[in-house]
Amino acid sequence: MKKDIGALFDELLIRYTKTVEQNIKSRIKKARDKEDVKKQIKSELNLLIRYMQIDKNEAKLSEVFVEWYKRGEETGKIFAHIRKVFGEDVEDILPFKRKENGKSITLYISEEDKALKQLALNDSKLMKFFIRYIANLDIRKRLPDLFSEEKQDIKTKNNPVVKWTSSKDNKNEFVQLIYGLYQAGFINEGKGEITKITEALAEVFDISLGKNWQSNHSASVHRGNNDRQASVFHKIQEAYKQYTESLIEHKKKIK
């Protein structure tokens, strides 16, 4: 009897993660300079994650997959969602035409979108990619000694303590700000897994987002209807305006 894609993914993920973990432990055990080998392993895993985030299509799909995976959705359901949204529902010819010089021009999806569609419809490639990606994240939790220094480096090394001081009840403002900067290309050129980036920056600002921060953010977007301007951007705009005006007024006074 053929296994469904969700059950197969979970089985292969467990096997792959166990193999990688055993390999890492074996390398450390037989090493003469264990700390140096630990650094090498950590560098290899970090490099793998960065490499897997370079391709925009893979980064886009991994963002969706990891978000749903963390929520506890069945892996088969996640694959079906990705297949439908990025593959089956994408037409090669767009359902509208643009007019140029009075003539209707048929529009086709870009080569990048075609590649994304092909990837979304290839269960085999998706499975291999996501197994490596999720396994890498799991290894970090299974072997905390390898990555404990990363968290310490952020808050030590003579760095000043930085805290998010907006209302603690409105952590969504922080999420909106990070998503806005990311989409504008101001963070990692808009590449990589946005959920992971948000959580990493939340740690820097010493803010606990909570388990439901992604669903809370999504709900705020849908509540906004046609008003997509989050209040945090208005607050920042007004605050910076007041700042520049105060500088100008101060300069006028000392002349």
Kindly indicate the confidence band of residue 18, based on its pLDDT and cuts at 50, 70 and 90.
very high
Closest CA to 217 of 207, 206, 228: 228
Split into its structural domains, the chain has a count of 2
User: What mean pLDDT value characterizes the chain?
Assistant: 79
Share of the chain above pLDDT 70, in %: 78
pLDDT score at 228 = 61
Whether residue 134 sits in one domain with residue 39 = yes
pLDDT score at 191 = 82
pLDDT score at 14 = 92
Whether residue 165 sits in one domain with residue 143 = no
Kindly indicate the confidence band of residue 157, based on its pLDDT and cuts at 50, 70 and 90.
very low
- pLDDT higher than threshold 80 for residue 30: yes
pLDDT score at 15 = 93
Q: Rounded CA gap, 77 and 7, in Å?
A: 11
Whether residue 170 sits in one domain with residue 132 = no
- pLDDT higher than threshold 50 for residue 152: no
**Residues 61-79, mean pLDDT to the nearest whole number:** 86
Whether residue 74 sits in one domain with residue 13 = yes
Lowest mean pLDDT among 93-97, 186-190, 214-218: 93-97
pLDDT score at 223 = 72
Question: Does residue 113 form part of some domain?
Answer: no
Q: Which residues neighbour 247 within 8 Å (Cβ) at sequence distance 6 or greater? A: none
Long-range contacts from 23-32, C-beta under 8 angstroms, 24+ separation: 24/139, 24/143, 24/146, 25/143
Question: Does residue 101 form part of some domain?
Answer: no
pLDDT score at 234 = 84
Q: Rounded CA gap, 188 and 176, in Å?
A: 16
**Residues 69-92, mean pLDDT to the nearest whole number:** 85
Cβ proximity of 48 and 170 under 8 Å? no
Whether residue 187 sits in one domain with residue 135 = no
Kindly indicate the confidence band of residue 61, based on its pLDDT and cuts at 50, 70 and 90.
confident
229, two tokens = 């301007």
Whether residue 35 sits in one domain with residue 143 = yes
Question: Does residue 226 form part of some domain?
Answer: yes
At residue 171, φ and ψ (nearest 5 deg) are -70, -15
Q: How far is CA 113 from CA 150, 183, 240, in A?
A: 36, 18, 38
Residue 35: which domain range?
A: 1-88+123-149
Residue with tokens 């700000």: 177
- pLDDT higher than threshold 70 for residue 31: yes
Question: Does residue 154 form part of some domain?
Answer: no
**Residues 136-147, mean pLDDT to the nearest whole number:** 80
- pLDDT higher than threshold 80 for residue 93: no
pLDDT score at 154 = 44
Whether residue 64 sits in one domain with residue 19 = yes
Kindly indicate the confidence band of residue 153, based on its pLDDT and cuts at 50, 70 and 90.
very low
Of the ranges 30-39, 95-104, 142-151, the best mean pLDDT one? 30-39
Whether residue 62 sits in one domain with residue 136 = yes
Share of the chain above pLDDT 90, in %: 5
